[in-house]
């Protein structure tokens, strides 16, 4: 039996990199949850934070399905949806300008402006933040209807030397952008041992669907520096839904203005939230390389 090959595009948005399959022209993998850990493996695969399928949609220009590096399917990825939008335009599935992308969060409006033959700058309407504890979800003593803003967090209750060094505020603010996020503020994000703290917080019992974890250092009222542990993927160079959640958390806690630049290890994202409507995110989407992957006996 001949080996089945599937074409892919490796793309990144502010360093948040995924393997993308254009299912308009390629066969949709039968078991993408099994394929994701293999193709995303940085030593034995293509390498990336996960796998994204770009599929035809009955309600939008394209549909995005994303799978984390551990194979779990996630509702939404802000950097990923920018790359999906670029791919839809670059491959001729949609015109440049305002288009829509179907996601697990719903149908999102995006504005795609080509920056070169292999890249675009994309502004995404990320939807309205979800703030009710039960809907994020997070379990807090105040109850299911509470907003989780500056609430003491039992997931980081124990004293540790790094907390002093990082100047950690152990109060959490939780926001869902279609997927759940917890935000902590500190004086120095570089001092946070993210590889130790991230998985502990992600899987703490107060987060029944696990959670994305962000540590934020305020540089100015309109600029922050953040580091992220993503649910199912670990430390990543950027997280678009996370940066959106950080923008919302900054407004709710009074740490930052309604328009900020979020410095992430892979670059910078611009976020805007007026305090009641949807969050807008602007950032790059860039193709890195193309290749083929064998499906037979692999997934």
Q: How crowded is residue 8: how many other Cβ atoms within 10 Å of its Cβ?
A: 22
- Counting residues of the chain whose pLDDT is more than 70, the rounded percentage is 98
Could you say which architecture CATH assigns to the domain 5-122+284-294? Roll (3.10)
pLDDT of residue 298: 44
pLDDT digits (tens, 9 = 90+) for 26-57: 999 999 999 999 999 999 999 999 999 999 99
Backbone torsion region of residue 94, taken as left when φ is above 0, otherwise alpha when ψ lies between -120 and 50, otherwise beta? beta
Burial of 249 (C-beta count, 10 Å sphere; 0-12/13-18/19+):
buried
pLDDT digits (tens, 9 = 90+) for 102-127: 999 999 999 999 999 999 999 999 99
pLDDT of residue 2: 56
CATH 3.10.310.10 fits 133-277, yes or no: yes
Binning pLDDT at 50, 70 and 90, where does residue 296 land? low
CA–CA gap between residue 91 and residue 106 (Å, rounded): 23
Is residue 96 predicted with pLDDT exceeding 90? yes
pLDDT of residue 23: 98
CA–CA gap between residue 82 and residue 98 (Å, rounded): 12
pLDDT of residue 148: 97
Q: Is 23 a catalytic residue?
A: no
Is residue 70 predicted with pLDDT exceeding 50? yes
pLDDT of residue 1: 45
What average pLDDT does this structure show over 181-187? 98
Backbone torsion region of residue 201, taken as left when φ is above 0, otherwise alpha when ψ lies between -120 and 50, otherwise beta? alpha
- Counting residues of the chain whose pLDDT is more than 90, the rounded percentage is 93
List b or e across 155-184, with b for residues whose CB sees 16 or more CB atoms inside 10 angstroms.
bbeeeeeebeebebbbbbbbbbbbbbbbbb
pLDDT of residue 295: 83
Q: How crowded is residue 221: how many other Cβ atoms within 10 Å of its Cβ?
A: 14
Its pTM surpasses 0.85: yes
Write the DSSP string, 154-177. Answer: GGG-S--HHHHHHT-EEEEEEEES
* Domain locations along the chain: 5-122+284-294, 133-277
Determine which one of 153, 174, 239, 247 is catalytic. 239
Is residue 299 predicted with pLDDT exceeding 80? no
CB 216 within 8 A of CB 246: yes
CA–CA gap between residue 88 and residue 77 (Å, rounded): 16
Which residue in 205, 224, 195 sits closest to 213, CA to CA?
195
Q: Is 247 a catalytic residue?
A: no
Lowest-confidence segment of 50-64, 139-153, 171-185, 243-257 by average pLDDT: 139-153
CA–CA gap between residue 254 and residue 119 (Å, rounded): 35
Determine which one of 23, 77, 174, 247 is catalytic. 77
pLDDT digits (tens, 9 = 90+) for 133-176: 999 999 999 888 999 999 999 898 778 999 999 999 999 999 99
Describe the crossing of helices 78-90 and 240-253 by its angle, rounded to 10 degrees. Answer: 130
H or E element, residue 30: none
Q: Alpha helices, DSSP H only, in 112-227?
A: 161-166, 194-202
Q: Which residues contact 92 (CB under 8 A, 6 or more apart)?
A: none
Which residue in 151, 210, 149 sits closest to 180, CA to CA?
210
pLDDT of residue 297: 47
């Amino acid at each position: 039996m001949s080996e089945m090959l599937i074409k892919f595009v490796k793309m990144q948005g502010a360093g948040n990199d995924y393997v993308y399959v254009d299912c308009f022209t390629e066969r949709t993998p039968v078991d993408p949850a099994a394929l994701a850990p293999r193709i995303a493996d940085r030593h034995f695969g293509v390498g990336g934070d996960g796998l994204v399928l770009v599929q035809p949609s009955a309600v939008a220009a394209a549909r995005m399905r994303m799978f984390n590096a551990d194979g779990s399917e996630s509702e939404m990825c802000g950097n990923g949806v920018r790359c999906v939008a670029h791919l839809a335009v670059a491959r001729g599935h949609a015109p440049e300008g305002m288009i829509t992308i179907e996601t697990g969060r719903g149908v999102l409006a995006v504005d795609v402006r080509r920056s070169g033959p292999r890249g675009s700058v994309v502004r995404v309407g990320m939807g309205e933040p979800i703030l009710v504890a039960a809907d994020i979800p997070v379990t807090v003593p105040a109850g299911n209807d509470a907003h989780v803003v500056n609430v003491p967090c039992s997931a980081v209750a124990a004293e540790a030397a790094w907390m002093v060094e990082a100047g950690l505020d152990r109060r959490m603010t939780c926001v869902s952008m279609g997927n759940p996020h917890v935000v902590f503020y500190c004086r120095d994000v570089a001092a946070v041992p993210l590889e130790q703290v991230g998985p502990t917080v992600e899987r703490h019992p107060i987060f029944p669907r696990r959670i994305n974890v962000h540590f934020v250092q305020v540089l100015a009222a309109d600029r922050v520096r953040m580091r992220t542990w993503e649910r199912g993927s670990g430390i990543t160079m950027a997280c678009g839904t996370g940066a959106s959640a950080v923008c919302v958390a900054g407004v709710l806690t009074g740490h930052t203005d309604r328009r900020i630049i979020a410095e992430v290890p892979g670059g910078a994202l611009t976020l805007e939230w007026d305090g009641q409507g949807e969050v807008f995110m602007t950032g790059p989407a860039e193709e890195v390389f193309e290749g083929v992957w064998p499906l037979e006996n692999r997934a």
